[in-house]
């Protein structure tokens, strides 16, 4: 039985990867952060009581800013594979907290690699680094592939650039099996609520049930190559099963705007929207509504507005990946399209919104948290 250690196991990808590895028969250890509220919702369904014998999914308290903690955990677990998915992963937040982002995303990666080296695991354990299409930032080539030069545009991306290169460096310097998955945006019903796709599916689902009046957006012209997280964690594992470590771009090769994603989500909810106006004055107006939509939503209503607070000091306008190398070398292809993923996300958020609307109807108010 192989043993895996996942940082960021409570996040979107960590939860799918843990499920995937458990199905493959791995013993899976995950690092969770101490928080004042429960933060394991995404992995609660695979939780195993540590008191039962042969439990093969274990969570440990830890933090990527804490070297001694990482060394102790690594020495207790002695993993065959380490997946470094933990990060302050929100690009906009990285402008607010640049030093913390660098500490976790850049130095955290170094701390893990050093822990492995300190314990003599550099020739034994394999290391996966969650690298990102944000490295391309101000794009130098379309589509972006493994050889495209980097130009990061945020403290998050600059921190991830360090993590990318320190992974390459430990591979070259110490012969470690260490590799970077340069993953383009990937989403799912488990996506954090403040990333754009989830903000849209959750916001519009709430609006359709009369729980929120309007969705406030940033740059709707941004173009992204969106895939499904379930497809992408499969690839993370595949990258650690090769004879030689290599870096791979993981993407769908298709690109859509934030505005298109809003139209898909609205249409899934039987709301026909049309956009008019430009820049900060652009609005999304209801053209027609289907019968399942709350009576509060009527043709002519403005459901989408622009709020410049969601603009970023430096934006990544366009990302489009070329996954040819992954296809050719690993036989990997995404199975779920962006539109199918959008439908899945909307359906899940609609279920929750309907429950909240039902409670509201019977006098129980659930506060709706906005932001993003
Ligand atoms: P999430 O934000 O959903 O998850 C991040 C995880 O990191 C959470 O478990 C979080 O814990 C944990 N974490 C945050 N800070 C620390 C810390 N100081 N010490 C230990 N753990 C910490 O991200 P995703 O699952 O979407 O992404 C996974 C990784 O892939 C990240 O590194 C991200 O930067 C990268 N990536 C993501 C892409 C995407 O489109 N999703 C694309 C390319 C790269 P908690 O739950 O307590 O907050
Ligand atoms: P991104 O994802 O920055 O690409 O990073 P996000 O979903 O936050 O933004 C995508 C694009 O949408 C634009 N946008 C908005 N974004 C948010 N969050 N909220 C808004 O209201 C809004 N309006 C428009 C953004 O400006 C941007 O252009 C994600 C993260 O998962 C990173 O960790 C990962 O490395 C990259 O994807 C690949």
Residue ranges per domain, the chain? 3-183, 196-223+257-312+337-362
Rounded to 5 degrees, φ, ψ at 336 are -115, 130
- Taking CA atoms only, the protein residue closest to ligand 2 atom 10 is 196
pLDDT for 183 beyond 70 = yes
CB half-sphere exposure, 173, CA atoms < 13 A: 9
355-370 b/e (C-beta count within 10 Å ≥ 16 → b): ebbeeeeeeeeeeeee
Residue percentage of the chain with pLDDT more than 70: 99
Whether residue 308 has pLDDT greater than 90: yes
Q: What tens digit of pLDDT does each residue of 193-223 get?
A: 999 999 999 999 999 999 999 999 999 999 9
Same CATH fold assignment for domains 3-183 and 196-223+257-312+337-362:
no
Residues with CB under 6 A from ligand 1: 7-8, 10-14, 31, 33, 35, 39, 63-65, 85-89, 104, 130, 132, 183, 185-186, 192
- Per-residue pLDDT tens over the stretch 16-45: 999 999 999 999 999 999 999 999 999 999
Is 134 labeled as catalytic in the residue annotation? Answer: yes
Catalytic site residue from 156, 164, 170, 177: 156
List, for residues 222-273, the tens digit of each pLDDT value.
Answer: 999 999 999 999 999 999 999 999 999 999 999 999 999 999 999 999 999 9
Segment 72-97 shows an average pLDDT of 98
Of 3.90.420.10, 3.40.190.10, 3.40.50.720, 3.90.1300.10, the CATH number of 3-183 is: 3.40.50.720
Q: Which atom of ligand 2 is nearest to the CA of 160?
A: 35
What confidence score (pLDDT) does residue 354 get? 96
Q: Does the pLDDT value for residue 370 go beyond 90?
A: no
Residue in 27, 114, 122, 134 annotated catalytic: 134
The residue among 291, 292, 282, 284 whose CA lies nearest residue 347 is 292
Show the CA angle centred on residue 326, arms to residues 323 and 328, nearest 5°. Answer: 105
Q: Is 7 a catalytic residue?
A: no
Supply the mean pLDDT for the chain. 96
Closest CA to 236 of 81, 117, 42: 81
Mean pLDDT on 106-112: 99
Closest by CA to 40, choosing from 59, 21, 56, is: 59
Residue 53's pLDDT is what? 85
Instruction: Note whether 28 and 36 are within 8 A (CB).
Output: no
Identify which of 5, 11, 228 to mutate to test ligand 1's pocket (most ligand atoms within 8 A of the CB): 11
Which pLDDT belongs to residue 292? 84
Residue 316 CA to residue 137 CA, distance in Å, equals 5
pLDDT (average), residues 65-71: 98
The pLDDT score that the predictor gives to residue 330 is 93
Fold for domain 196-223+257-312+337-362?
UDP-galactose 4-epimerase; domain 1 (3.90.25)
pLDDT at 372: 66
- Retrieve residue 131's tokens: 């690298």
Which ipTM did the prediction report? 0.99
């Amino acid at each position: 039985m192989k043993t895996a250690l996942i940082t960021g196991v409570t996040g979107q990808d960590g939860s799918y990867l843990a499920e995937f590895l458990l199905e493959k028969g791995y013993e899976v250890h995950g690092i969770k952060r101490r928080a004042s509220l429960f933060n394991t919702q995404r992995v609660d369904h695979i939780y195993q009581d540590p008191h039962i014998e042969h439990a093969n999914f274990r969570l440990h308290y830890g933090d990527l800013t804490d070297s001694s903690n990482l060394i102790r955990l690594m020495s207790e677990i002695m993993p065959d594979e380490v997946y470094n998915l933990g990060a302050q992963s929100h690009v906009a937040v990285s402008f607010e907290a640049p030093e913390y982002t660098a500490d976790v995303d850049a130095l955290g990666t170094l701390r893990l690699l050093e822990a492995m080296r300190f314990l003599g695991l550099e020739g034994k354990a394999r290391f996966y680094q969650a690298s990102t299409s944000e490295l391309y930032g101000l794009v130098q080539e379309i589509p972006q592939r493994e050889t495209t030069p980097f130009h990061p545009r945020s403290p998050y991306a600059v921190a991830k650039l360090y993590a990318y290169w320190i992974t390459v460096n430990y591979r070259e310097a110490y012969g470690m099996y260490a590799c970077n998955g340069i993953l383009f945006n990937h989403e799912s019903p488990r996506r954090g609520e403040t990333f754009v796709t989830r903000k849209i599916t959750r916001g519009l689902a709430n609006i359709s049930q009369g729980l929120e009046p309007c969705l406030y957006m940033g740059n709707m012209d941004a173009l992204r190559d969106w895939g499904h997280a379930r497809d992408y964690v499969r690839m993370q594992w595949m990258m650690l099963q090769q004879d030689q470590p290599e870096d791979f771009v993981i993407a769908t090769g298709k690109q859509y705007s934030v505005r298109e994603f809003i139209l898909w989500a609205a249409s899934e909810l039987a709301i026909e929207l049309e956009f008019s106006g430009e820049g900060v004055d652009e609005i999304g107006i209801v053209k027609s509504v289907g019968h399942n939509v709350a009576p509060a939503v009527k043709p002519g209503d403005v459901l989408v507005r622009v709020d410049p607070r969601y603009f970023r000091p430096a934006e990544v306008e366009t990302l489009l990946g070329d996954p040819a190398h992954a296809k050719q070398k690993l036989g990997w292809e995404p199975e779920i399209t962006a539109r199918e993923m959008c439908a899945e996300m909307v359906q899940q958020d609609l279920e929750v919104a309907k429950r909240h609307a039902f409670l509201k109807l019977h006098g129980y108010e659930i506060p709706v948290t906005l932001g993003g």
